[in-house]
Amino acid sequence: MSTALRRVPTLLAAGVLAVALTGAPTGTSATAEGSDQSSPLAQRPAPPKTPVAVGRGGAVSSVDPYASQIGLDVLADGGNAVDAAVATAAALGVTEPFSAGIGGGGYFVYYDAKSGRVRTIDGRETAPAGIEQDAFIDPATGEPYPFTPDLVTSGVSVGVPGTPATWDEALDRWGKLSLRKALAPAARLAQRGFVVDETFNLQTSENEQRFRTFTPTIDLYLEDGVPEVGSTFRNPDLARTYRLLGERGTDWLYRGGLAEEIAATVQEPPVSGETDLPAPPGSMTPRDLKRYRALLQRPTRLSYEGYDVFGMAPSSSGGTTVGESLNILEQAGVHHMEEPDALHHYLEATALAFADRGAYVGDPAYVDVPTRALLDDDFAAERSCEIDPDTAATKPVPAGDVTSYDGECDATDDEGRTDPDTENLSTTHLTTADRWGNVVAYTLTIEQTGGSGIVVPGRGFLLNNELTDFSTEYDEADPNRIQPGKRPRSSMSPTIVLRDGRPFLALGSPGGSTIITTVLQVLLNRLDLGMRLPAAVAAPRASQRNTASVTAEQAFIDAWGATLEEYGHTFTVAGPPGSSASQIGAVAAIEIRPRGRMIAAAEPVRRGGGAAYVVRPR
C-alpha cells in the first residue's frame, strides 16, 4: 500500500473524527444525498479495505478499516502493541458492534519483547451467582427454550462482561497509554460516525426480528429501518459511555452506576412488545459485576515442526484443541504429505481433538481439566493411531483416555458422541505488532451476531449472550454444565507462534467453534503446505468438529470435495449463498520477518474484506 493511500484514513482518524457532533439523536443514520450532506465524513470514502500490507515500524490487522486505522495511528504516535490492540478493540465496538464491545468478553495473548515471555488474560464472561441449573428451560413447557432466536435473545443469556476489565488489565501491565487515551479515538469515531458497509447492513437485517424485541435496540439500530449501505451511522451514546469509562475508570462499570444499569437491564429486559419472543430475564446483580476479575494466566505451549505455538488455556478450549490437533498432525507426518492427504489428516485430527474437547474441557476453576495430558506428545501419538491414511473414520469418534496412554496404538470399541454446538458464528479478532517487537493476538466477542439483542438504555452498547455457550441441559458429568460464577467454554483461539524464540506469526479468527479449525487450517497452510500468509488466509475452508458431515465453504467443496469424498468424507455447505453463515471465519494475522519486516494480512473477501496496515509501507 502506498504512503499516499495510507494517508487517506489517517486524515479521517486524526482530523475529521476529532470534530464532535452536538445534538445528534441516538443511532442516527443518514445518506450523503439526504439531510447529512454537510457532514465531511459522509462525503468521504471509508478507509481502504487493504487485505495485505508489507513494511516496518508496526502493523495492525482486523476486519474493519476504521478500527485498523485507529490502531495504526496509535502505533505511529509512539504507542505499543497493547495500546494499539485496546484502541482497535474499542473502535471495533463502534463499527462491529454486533460482534464485540464492552458488553462482552474475550481472550488476550501478548508476547513481551523485553522478557521474551508470552502471557494471557482470560476476560471471559461469567455466570451470575443466582443462575439456576434449569435456567435455559422454559417453565411453560419443561423443555429447553428454542436456541435461536428465543434463548439467545434474553436476559438469562447475559454473562458478566469481561472486556473492560481486560483492557484495564492489559494497559496497566503492559501498555503506555491510560484507558482514557486509549478509548478517545473510538469515542470520536462513535460521535462522528462511519460509513455503513454491506456487512453491517446484512447483519442488522438478519437480526431485525431480535432487535425489534427491545426498545433501546430499535432506537439505536432501527430508528429509520435497517441502515442503508453508504449511509453514515453515529452512536453518540457509546461515545459518551467511552468518555465516561475513560474518566471514571472501570470501577464505574463494575462497582458504580453503570453496574447497576447493566444488572437492571438484565433482570428486566426493556421489551418493546413488537415481537412474540419470550425474552426471559436473567439474575445478574451489581454484586456479580463487583466480583468479576480478568485472570492473568499462563498460555498453552507446544512445539510443532521447530516452532513454539502459544495459545489460550481453559476456560477457552482454543489452545488445547488447536494444540492437540497440531500434535496429532505432527505425529502423522503431515509436513511431508501432498495436499489431499494433508487435508484428509487435518479433518481427521480435528474430529479427534473435538471429541476430547467435549469430554474434558471447561472452566478450570470448576472442572479438573487435563490440559497437560491433552497436549502430551504420547497422547497425540496414541490419538493419531486412530487415523486411517486412506479412509475417513465414522463420526462421531470417541474421546481418548487421558488417564491411561502410552503412545502405543491400541484398538478401541468405544462409541463416540457429538457434543451439541451452542456457539454461534460471530466474534471478532485483531492482531497488532510494534517497532519494539511486542505482539498481541486478541479475540473478543458478544457471542451471537448481535449478542443478546439488548442495548443498555442510553449507553449505546449491546449485552452479550455468552451464557448460551454452556450446555443447554444440566448434566453433572458435563464439564461445560451451568454453574454460578463459572466461565462457559469458549473456542476463541488467539495464537502466537515463535521461531527461534522470536515472534514469527500471530493470528486468530471469529466463527464460534469453527474458530479452532480456522486457526488450525491457516497454520497448516502456512507452516506445512508452504503457502504465503495472504494465500493461507484466503484459501477455502472446511471444518470437521466430530460430526457426520464436514461443514465447508462452497469454494472448498468445489476445489477439494470430489478428491476428499474418495477418502469417505461428506460435506455440508456452511450456509446459504450471500448469508453471513456461508463463510467460515475472518482471520487477522501478522507475520514478522527478519530485520523487522512485517506482513499484515486480513481477509480479502470474507465479512466484506478486512484491513491490514503497516506504519511504514515498503
Rg (CA), the chain: 23
- Cα 422 from Cα 402, distance rounded (Å): 25
Mention every residue, 6+ apart, whose C-beta is less than 8 A from residue 610.
49, 51, 61, 62, 63, 64, 68, 586, 588, 602, 603, 604
Residue 62 marked in a binding site: no
Let me know: does 435 contact 58? Beta carbons within 8 Å: yes
Residue 29 marked in a binding site: no
Number of residues that this document lists for the chain: 618
How distant, in Å, are the alpha carbons of 54, 115, 411 from that of 392? 40, 44, 16
Q: Do the strands 550-552 and 571-573 form a parallel or antiparallel pair, or are they unpaired?
A: parallel
- Cα 297 from Cα 120, distance rounded (Å): 5
Mention every residue, 6+ apart, whose C-beta is less than 8 A from residue 552.
540, 541, 542, 543, 561, 571, 572, 573, 574, 584
- Cα 424 from Cα 450, distance rounded (Å): 11
C-alpha cell at 297: 494466566
Let me know: does 169 contact 110? Beta carbons within 8 Å: no
Supply the residues annotated as catalytic: 427
Residue listed under C-alpha cell 515463535: 498
- Cα 292 from Cα 269, distance rounded (Å): 22
What phi-psi label fits residue 305: left (phi over 0), alpha (psi between -120 and 50 degrees) or beta? left
Which pairs count as long-range contacts for 265-270, CB under 8 Å and 24+ apart, including other chains?
Answer: 265/155, 265/454, 265/456, 265/457, 265/463, 266/128, 266/155, 266/158, 266/454, 266/463, 267/155, 268/155, 269/154, 269/155, 269/213, 269/214, 269/454, 270/214, 270/215, 270/216, 270/454, 270/457
C-alpha cell at 574: 456452511
Bridge partners, residue 137, by sequence: 144
Let me know: does 556 contact 339? Beta carbons within 8 Å: no
Residue 490 marked in a binding site: yes
Let me know: does 309 contact 323? Beta carbons within 8 Å: yes
Give the residue from 440, 589, 437 showing the smallest Cα distance to 502: 437
C-alpha cell at 216: 433501546
Bridge partners, residue 598, by sequence: 55, 592
SS3 249: coil
How many CB atoms are located within 10 Å of the residue 567 CB? 18
Let me know: does 85 contact 70? Beta carbons within 8 Å: no
- Cα 94 from Cα 91, distance rounded (Å): 5
DSSP state of 253: H
Residue 543 marked in a binding site: no
SS3 433: strand
Residue 99 marked in a binding site: no
How distant, in Å, are the alpha carbons of 3, 192, 614 from that of 72? 13, 19, 7
As annotated, the binding site for L-glutamate includes: 124, 469, 490-491, 512
